[in-house]
Structure 1
Amino acid sequence: MHEELGALEKNRTWELIKLPEGKRAVGCKWVFTVKQNPDGQVKRYKARLVAKGYSQTYGIDYDETFAPVAKMSTIRTLISLAVNGGWKLHQLDVKNAFLHGDLVEEVYMEIPLGFGTDQTVGKVCRLKKSLYGLKQSPRAWFDRFRKAMIGMGYQQINADHTVFFRRSESHITMLTVYVNDMIITGDDEKEIAQLKVRLGKEFEVKDLGLLRYFLGIEIARGAEGIVLSQRKYALDLLKETGMLGCKPVTTPIDQKFKLGAEAGEPVDRDRYHRLVGRLIYLRHTRPDISFAVSVVSRYMHDPRNGHMDAVYQILRYLKSVPGKGLIFRKNGHVSIEGYCDSELASCADDRRSTSGYCIFIGGNLVWWKSKKQSVVARSTAEAEYRAMALGVAELLWLKSMLVELKLDQGAKMKLWCDNKSAISLANNPV
């Protein structure tokens, strides 16, 4: 706690003043967390001072709050580009990231509990910089980081605002940021080293070396390429649910499943939400469970016994293959191709179809989705055509990213579909 408070005072996060008339101060609290290594061992203990932002009032204490974070498809795309280019992947962590954002609003906070003295009686902290818990903290931090990157000569791409790049002659350096975690890659090692130095001067940065563990995802580099997996995350989930000793199954969902809204008696909604939420995060490296998870997530509002049984089947499937993940190989190109399909009237409740697609960049899988369509399709061709439209939208987004990075090789994108009627519709300009 003293270390955290010292960092806040060193950063000049606040000044002590008397609370002006007509103003109110938000409270604060201490939050304690444990940082772990991929093997589960304790890395360090952290104490963090958090403002009670839930008591802030919109329009008085804050205005805009949105701040972008890197999409997982963007991170996988950069990894595929790095593998095909033979580039290294570096990882940086910004200490106390939210404390670097400059506040434009007038925000007052109470003295942290346990640190009041005779000199602080009747005073409050007027915040000059953002603090964890404040509604506007993510936006203030990202705005400060964006200005710093642009000041270093980097450009921000429109396809994903969390990606910055810099070109010098034939070399390129790219950076993407997820709150306070950064990934840097490119073929200009000299520029990468200089970027680390400049970021260290601007913020308090910790160089974590080559990318090995990011947002709960394990990254392993081998002779064949880079492997992404969430083995520890899957095993922790099985242990938490008491399913480590369960009998494994070979599929995450029955091929001829019939799951509807009225599937038995109601179950504990909080438990269902927690399990499905954990499975949704596991999809970042597990496209094999994507369809099954999308099915069980449809019943979050009113979970029943049948829905919980479907969740347990996914867990039993994970028991059979906990370490399965994605492999990124060097294929020597960055061409884009996608595959799409649909299942007609798969939802028993409203007869809507399900679209599915997956997209490859440089021969590596970077994006996939299984989603119920927004309207009822009246034919297989219509359902397949809607799935094609979703796939094309993602293809165009990824293409625009490569064009902005000046890495597009000019090759035509390919979209594969197995329905002749939908292909004929797509080829007909009328």
Structure 2
Amino acid sequence: MIYLQEHEYDVYDASDPTTYQKAIHCPQFTYWKEATNDEMNSMYMNGVWDLVELPHGCKPVGYKWAFKTKRDSNKRIERYKARLMVKGYSQREGIDFKETFSFVSTKDSFRVIMTIIAHFDLEVHQMDVKTAFLNGDLDEDVYMEQPTSFTEVGKEHLVCKLNKSIYGLKQASRQWYMKFDKIITQNGFKENIVDRCIYLRVNGSSYIFLVLYVDDILLISNDSDLLIETKDMLSTHFDMKDLGEASYVLGIKILRDRANGVLKLSQKTYIEKILKRFSMHNYSSSKVPIVKGDKFSKAQCPQNDDEREEMRTIPYSSLVGSLMYAQVCTCHDIAFVVGMLGRYLSNLGSQHWESILNTCPQKVCWRIY
């Protein structure tokens, strides 16, 4: 089974630079320069690599910079983030990596947890693991080129021998999960046998759930002291950022009315980003995503080379994927039509594209009582 994650369908900001050179020559270069310096400091502080001579017969993997403007649920800029990544696609299986599988919490579990929170009126806080993947230890010998503009004087000919599972490595997510699982289970938490990214610790009448989403952590408890104790424990082992009460997780806004026992989940910001990306932000909303009489069939697929060429540049699969994430998280009412539209990813026609444009929801909230 495949569980879609928010970062896989996180709609990019068109103003974000795509290379290091573009970042340092754009109007926001001061912020991007500070972000890259912070990233490199994290590398040095965590001992991510050692500079060594490249062994004979070995080939270093390349690197790239990823830049992203982080915004809150109200679209305000929170910070500028730069990430140094290796070009993992050049890794060779059996040499540079062996296992890559890593557990990921499901959206079904997320909704169950939200229901428990609303029903028992629990505290729910959020923490972020800074440079999470840098905590994972590598079992293989992997060499990376030194980042341009950050090479050490007199050592430009050396390469980076990675000690930690830097972002971009195929095994990075797995190594981080294994490290986190080992630490958390040693501190009294028990792993859920169905969803391996959910942990529970019970202390008398007090209990706390811990939900891991790669580098985002949700803490749910009926005891504020146990909540503080768990935060302190996590901060002891990892470089953490305490975000306080959870309000915006994985692109989903959490709205609570604790007096009436109501919890709402909204992807309004995410959906508006989709609409803007596909030039639909001025469209009016529809009450239903599909109406009686709408039909999708192979007969609507391109019938000749000219029609196929016309549809080749249409971002159909990208929009289906973006809708799929909204459907899995909160917009369950579009599940049928997204499933129908998904059948024609490999051979879409103009009528399918027109239908999907009419599918995009303008604003959807899912309630839990």
TM class, shorter-length: 0.7 to 0.9
Aligned residue number for residue 282 of structure 2: 245
Q: Which of 201, 220, 223 lines up with 1:188 in the alignment? A: 223
How far apart, CA to CA, are the structure 2 residues paired with 1:87 and 1:297?
Answer: 38
Aligned residue number for residue 271 of structure 1: 315
The structure with the greater share of residues assigned to strand is: 1
How far apart, CA to CA, are the structure 1 residues paired with 2:301 and 2:78?
Answer: 45
- In structure 2, relative to structure 1, the CA distance for the partners of 1:166 and 1:247 (3 Å cut) is closer
Q: Which of 232, 253, 259 lines up with 2:296 in the alignment? A: 259
Aligned residue number for residue 58 of structure 1: 93
Report if aligned partners of 2:142, 2:161 keep a CA contact under 8 Å in 1: yes
SS of the equivalent of 1:5 reads helix
Q: CA deviation at 1:124?
A: 1.1
Aligned residue number for residue 141 of structure 1: 176
User: Aligned letter for 1:10?
Assistant: M
How far apart, CA to CA, are the structure 1 residues paired with 2:284 and 2:175?
Answer: 49
Q: CA deviation at 1:19?
A: 1.2
Q: Which of 307, 323, 346 lines up with 2:352 in the alignment? A: 307
User: Aligned letter for 1:327?
Assistant: R
1:107-146 pair list within 5 angstroms:
107-146=142-181
Aligned residue number for residue 328 of structure 1: 368
Q: CA deviation at 1:169?
A: 1.9
SS of the equivalent of 2:181 reads helix
Deviation per residue, 1:165-207 (Å, 9 max, x gap)? 1112232211010100011102132221111001011011001
User: Aligned letter for 1:174?
Assistant: F
How far apart, CA to CA, are the structure 1 residues paired with 2:226 and 2:239?
Answer: 19
Q: CA deviation at 1:256?
A: 3.1
Runs (5+) with no aligned partner, structure 2: 1-35, 303-307
SS of the equivalent of 2:208 reads strand
SS of the equivalent of 2:154 reads helix
Aligned residue number for residue 159 of structure 1: 194
SS of the equivalent of 1:83 reads helix
Give runs of ≥4 in structure 1 deviating > 6 Å. Answer: none
How far apart, CA to CA, are the structure 2 residues paired with 1:158 and 1:236?
Answer: 36
- TM-score between the two structures when normalised by the length of structure 1: 0.73
Work out whether 1:294 is the aligned partner of 2:357. Answer: no
- In structure 2, relative to structure 1, the CA distance for the partners of 1:142 and 1:270 (3 Å cut) is farther
- In structure 2, relative to structure 1, the CA distance for the partners of 1:2 and 1:242 (3 Å cut) is closer
- In structure 2, relative to structure 1, the CA distance for the partners of 1:155 and 1:23 (3 Å cut) is same
Q: What is the Cα-based RMSD across aligned positions, in Å?
A: 1.5
How far apart, CA to CA, are the structure 2 residues paired with 1:325 and 1:248?
Answer: 14
1:32-71 pair list within 5 angstroms:
32-71=67-106
Q: How many residues align?
A: 324
User: Aligned letter for 1:98?
Assistant: F
Q: CA deviation at 1:141?
A: 0.4
Aligned residue number for residue 379 of structure 1: none
Identity of aligned residues (%): 34
Q: CA deviation at 1:38?
A: 1.0
SS of the equivalent of 1:7 reads helix
SS of the equivalent of 2:193 reads coil
User: Aligned letter for 1:188?
Assistant: D
User: Aligned letter for 2:317?
Assistant: H
Report if aligned partners of 2:190, 2:200 keep a CA contact under 8 Å in 1: yes
Work out whether 1:230 is the aligned partner of 2:274. Answer: no
Work out whether 1:14 is the aligned partner of 2:49. Answer: yes
User: Aligned letter for 1:149?
Assistant: I
SS of the equivalent of 1:126 reads strand
Report if aligned partners of 1:269, 1:303 keep a CA contact under 8 Å in 2: no
Runs (5+) with no aligned partner, structure 1: 330-430
How far apart, CA to CA, are the structure 2 residues paired with 1:115 and 1:45?
Answer: 19
How far apart, CA to CA, are the structure 1 residues paired with 2:37 and 2:295?
Answer: 57
Report if aligned partners of 2:301, 2:348 keep a CA contact under 8 Å in 1: no
SS of the equivalent of 2:142 reads strand
SS of the equivalent of 1:314 reads coil
- TM-score between the two structures when normalised by the length of structure 2: 0.84
SS of the equivalent of 2:38 reads helix
User: Aligned letter for 2:66?
Assistant: V
Aligned residue number for residue 14 of structure 2: none
Q: CA deviation at 1:112?
A: 1.0
How far apart, CA to CA, are the structure 2 residues paired with 1:248 and 1:206?
Answer: 38
